[in-house]
Amino acid sequence: MDADNAERWRAVEAGGLPLTWDLWSSDVRQSTVLTSAGRTAVVDAVEVIASFLGEDWLSRFLPLDRNKPGARGLPLLSFRWWPANDVPTTFDRLLTFAARLRLLAGSPGLVPVRKAVRGSLGNFEHSLLQLEVAALALRDGWRATFEPKPDPTGTRVTDLRLTRSGDSMLVEVKGFQLDDVVRADLRLAGIVSQAYLALQLEHDVYVSGDISSPTSRDELDGWLTTLGPLAAMVAQDQQPRQSQPPFGGLVEIRAGLPANGTQHSMPIRRRDEWARITAQIDAKAEQGRGAEPLWLRFEETGQFWSLAAPPDERLEWAESWAAALERRLSIHEHVAGLLLSGPDQAISRSRLQQAFQLERSSAAVLSCTTSSPFWRESLIVAGPHSSAIEQAEAWQRWYLNEDSWLAWAHGALGLAPPTKLFAASAH
C-alpha cells in the first residue's frame, strides 16, 4: 500500500473519513498474483459489486469499535474478501460474486434482495446463499425467481423458485451463526492463547494445562497478570511453577519449548445444534409450503463441522445425522430434500470431487473443491416428496462442479477465462 492510501486508511480508522470502494480495493492495482488483464477484471468486478451493494455500503457498516461485544465485523474486511490479502482465492471469490450478479441481473425478484442487503449487514450472507444456489442451477439450465410466493394467493415468501422444462422447485436458504455465548467463549480463548504466546516469546517458557471458563473478562485479565512474574521466575531458575485460576483449572509454566503433545485448553460452551437445525427445518418447511417441492439449503458454521466428529469418525457421524434428518424431513411431505454444508476451508493437499452414497440412508456426502485449495463437505438428504431423488441428482451436479463454475460463467459473459487472469506463479 502506498503512503497516500496508508494515510487515508489511518483517517478511516480514526473515524475521520468514510471507507470507499476505491480505497478498499486499492491493493488490486499492486497485486502480484494477477496479470494485467486480471487486475482490470477484478477492478471491473468491484464496480459491479459496489453497484449492487451501494456506494456507501462499506462506510455504513464499518464497525468503529471492532472489539465491542457482539460485533461481527464487516465481512468484506476479512481475509476471504479483502484485496489486501493478495492471494488467488480472494480474487476468485470477488470475480465469482460479480459474475453471479451479472448473470442473474435480469432475474425476477432480485430488486428486493438488493434492497435487503443494502439495508442490513445481517442480510449479506443470506443473499450470498441465494445467489450461490441460483447461479449453480443456472449453469444446469434452471432459471431463478427471487423471493417468490409459494402460493399465488398466499402471503408467505420463499427465497427462490427454480424452473426448467416443466420442472420446478422452491428453495429456502439459511445460514447459521455462532450465538453470543459461543462467540464470547472463543474471544476469551483467543485472549488466553495470545497471552501464553507473549509469555513464550518474552521469557522462553511455555504454558500447559486446562482452565475453566472465566466468569468475566476482568476476572480473566486479573489472573493473566499473575503469570508474568511466575514466567520470569521460571526463566531465571528453570524450575516449573503452577497456577490455579480463581475460576477453576490448573496450568504449569515450564522453561524451553513445548514438547510434542503439550497443549492447553479452555472449554467452549456448546449449544444444541440439533435443536437449532430441526427448528429451522420445521420453520422453513412451513414457510415454503405449497404445491411445488421444497429444498432447504442450510450452511452451518465452520466450528460445527470441525468439532462435530473426529476425522476417523466422519462417516459414522454422517450416517447418524442423515438418518436423523431423514426422519425429521419425513413429516413434511412437500419437502424434497436438504443440503447441509459449511463454509469452504483451505487445505494443503488436493482433493477429488467425490460423492459418497451412504449405506443406511438415501443421503450422500459431497467432498467438493470450491476454488483450489478451498473445499467443503456437504450432506444431501432426500425428503419424502416424489421429486426428491431426481432433484437430488441435480443438486449433486451443481455442487460437484462448483470449482469450474467461474470459467463457465466468464465464457457465458464473454469475459477472459480465469486462466488468463492469474500469474503462472500464483498456482
Taking only the tens place, the pLDDT of each residue in 210-252 is 888 888 888 889 999 999 999 999 999 999 999 999 988 899 9
Q: Retrieve residue 297's grid coordinates.
A: 439449503
Mean pLDDT, the chain, whole residue set: 86
Give the helix/strand (H/E) hosting 207.
Answer: strand 205-211
Give the pLDDT confidence score for residue 117 in this predicted structure: 94
Give the pLDDT confidence score for residue 69 in this predicted structure: 39
Higher pLDDT, 371 or 50: 50
As a whole number of angstroms, the distance between CA 281 and CA 298 comes to 9
- Contacts from 178-182 at CB under 8 Å and sequence distance 24+? 178/301, 178/303, 179/271, 180/69, 180/70, 181/269, 181/271, 182/268, 182/269, 182/270, 182/271, 182/303
As a whole number of angstroms, the distance between CA 85 and CA 72 comes to 19
**Worst-scoring range by mean pLDDT, 39-48, 202-211, 235-244, 399-408?**
202-211
Give the pLDDT confidence score for residue 98 in this predicted structure: 98
Q: What is the dihedral of CA 115, 116, 117, 123, to 10 degrees?
A: -170
Q: Retrieve residue 66's grid coordinates.
A: 471492532
The mean per-residue pLDDT over the stretch 367-396 comes to 87
Confidence tier at 367 by pLDDT (50, 70, 90): confident
Q: What is the pLDDT of residues 159-207, one digit of tens each?
A: 999 999 989 999 999 987 655 666 677 677 778 888 888 888 889 998 9
**Worst-scoring range by mean pLDDT, 65-69, 132-136, 282-286?**
65-69
Q: What is the pLDDT of residues 102-122, one digit of tens each?
A: 999 999 999 999 999 999 988
Higher pLDDT, 315 or 137: 137
**Worst-scoring range by mean pLDDT, 67-76, 161-170, 203-212, 417-426?**
67-76
Confidence tier at 317 by pLDDT (50, 70, 90): confident
Higher pLDDT, 303 or 127: 127
Give the pLDDT confidence score for residue 319 in this predicted structure: 83
Q: How many CB atoms lie within 10 A of CB 181?
A: 13
